[in-house]
Amino acid sequence: MHAPMDLVAGIDVGTQSVKLVVYNMDSRSVVAAHGQSIELIAGEDGSREQMAEWWIDAVRACFAKLPKSLRADITAIGVSGQQHGFVPLDAHGNVLAPVKLWCDTSTQRECDEIMAAAGGAGRCVELGGNPILAGYTASKLPWTRKHRPDAYAKLATILLPHDYVNFWLTGERWMEYGDASGTGWLDVRTRQWSKAMLEATDAGRDLLACLPPLVAADASFPITRSMADELGLSHEVRVSAGGGDNMMAAIGTGNVRPGVLSISLGTSGTLFAYADHPVVDRDAGWAAFCSSTGGWLPLICTMNCTLATESVAKAFGFSARDGDTVMAGTVPGAGGLVMLPFFNGERTPDLPHARGSLHGMDLSNVTRANIYRAAMEGATYALCSGYDALLATGLRFDAIRLTGGGSHSVAWRQMIADVFNLPVEVPLQAEGAAFGAALQAAWANDHARGGDADIADLASEHVVIATGLSTRPDPVSVAAYRKHYHVFLSHLDAARSLHAHSLVTDAV
């Protein structure tokens, strides 16, 4: 399948940095990995924006760090990108405004307006599979119409962040189904744009005309000669369809077959799984996304994960890197403490205006060790509540692939295994999204050459597990956590009631 020195490159355009991974398919080794940090424009209204040219400058910088001989041997490139961002282009391909990002919360009013125009959140789920959340691309359109009318008037093409990098590399405009399902406009069941959701976003304009063609996950396009020359690449390089960072991380962690559950313990927590059929929740308990491999990717996102443990560590004057040592000697249940770690509001469960709270304090259990454990347990239980919803659909899992900063904690790895009662595996390659983009590039390039490689087989062959970091559930701890998890759920029910009451009071 592979020519000698068959190198593939994966680019991940994140919120904080751009990462580049170059992978040798023959030796099954990462031969280079570089990163370049990027800035963020933050506003008091919740706006979070970046300039598209910052991504391009960072990609250039990453390639410039590679030896010329290495660049010349790259055969294919895959691009992963932060989801949901809105890149508005004019008819000539120029970016019209700063890019509003996934973490931009300034468009909540526009979310409500779109859902009302569509017939309510439930009707949005019927039409596309998802409600319109503040992070999604859809709400950024009416916000731009109101606040940047000149840019909106010149709008010719709507792209997502990874689409824009693809456009820069190839001169072609397209979208693939995984990242497109995070716009709020794609009917994830049929993989077609929902005209009703587009009309609800702007009834006075044909937004469908602004959306590029949808392409299959294994599609690829040739790099332009000028871009190849600029980056020192071969004119034969092909650029794969790419995808959103979660979709690429699914490939990079080997989550491309039913039965694997990926959990990322980052600032926010994500939990996602591969499905061979659309998995849509009428109550929108998870994001009903497509994968970037031809399947579907039901995804749960919590807003507070390592954010919770790091906040506690900071309050007590130690580093979260020392958290395992600090909580040594504590046991499941944190001495009776229960934390609802909603420091930043919460998406799953849907409590956007909630705040963190600590329960069960007495004269003996209020120690920094117990409070730190309670934060870790609370973040884990919040993910588990989403997991329960996936189980209710009939999905079943036999292993967890764990990534993110929290996966470096021995205690947290064991806690995940015990709370979920599943064996935990940690992939050796830490940059899951960039690595997944590289593997997708290899898959698409093989198909462009006339091959028939299977993405699941490729992932199975190249995603290596760090065996020394694997762990299995401890039956005694599994039973203990099950009891404490139900206590957490009872406090969560009380918080939901309080949240609902406060909304009614505010409305009055």
Q: Which residues are catalytic?
A: 245
Structure tokens at 28: 């099954």
Structure tokens at 407: 């996966």
Question: What is the C-alpha to C-alpha distance for residues 490 and 56, in angstroms, rounded to an integer?
Answer: 48
Question: What is the C-alpha to C-alpha distance for residues 448 and 273, in angstroms, rounded to an integer?
Answer: 28
CA angle 350, 396, 274 (to 5 degrees): 70
What's the half-sphere exposure (Cβ side, CA atoms, 13 Å) at 418?
22
What is the number of H-type helices and E-type strands within the chain? 18, 24
Question: What is the C-alpha to C-alpha distance for residues 234 and 76, in angstroms, rounded to an integer?
Answer: 10
Please name the helix (run of DSSP H) or strand (run of DSSP E) that holds residue 240, with its range, or none.
Answer: strand 238-240
Strand partners, 428: none
Contact 9, 81 (CB under 8 A): no
Question: What is the C-alpha to C-alpha distance for residues 72 and 66, in angstroms, rounded to an integer?
Answer: 10
Question: What is the C-alpha to C-alpha distance for residues 163 and 80, in angstroms, rounded to an integer?
Answer: 9
Instruction: Provide the CA 25 distance to its chain's centre, in angstroms.
Output: 25
Structure tokens at 275: 């499905």
Interacting residues of 97 by C-beta distance below 8 A, sequence separation 6+: 88, 144, 148, 151
- Determine the residue type at 198: L
Structure tokens at 286: 């998870």
Question: What is the C-alpha to C-alpha distance for residues 397 and 393, in angstroms, rounded to an integer?
Answer: 12
Instruction: Provide the CA 387 distance to its chain's centre, in angstroms.
Output: 16
Contact 76, 239 (CB under 8 A): yes
Contact 176, 251 (CB under 8 A): no
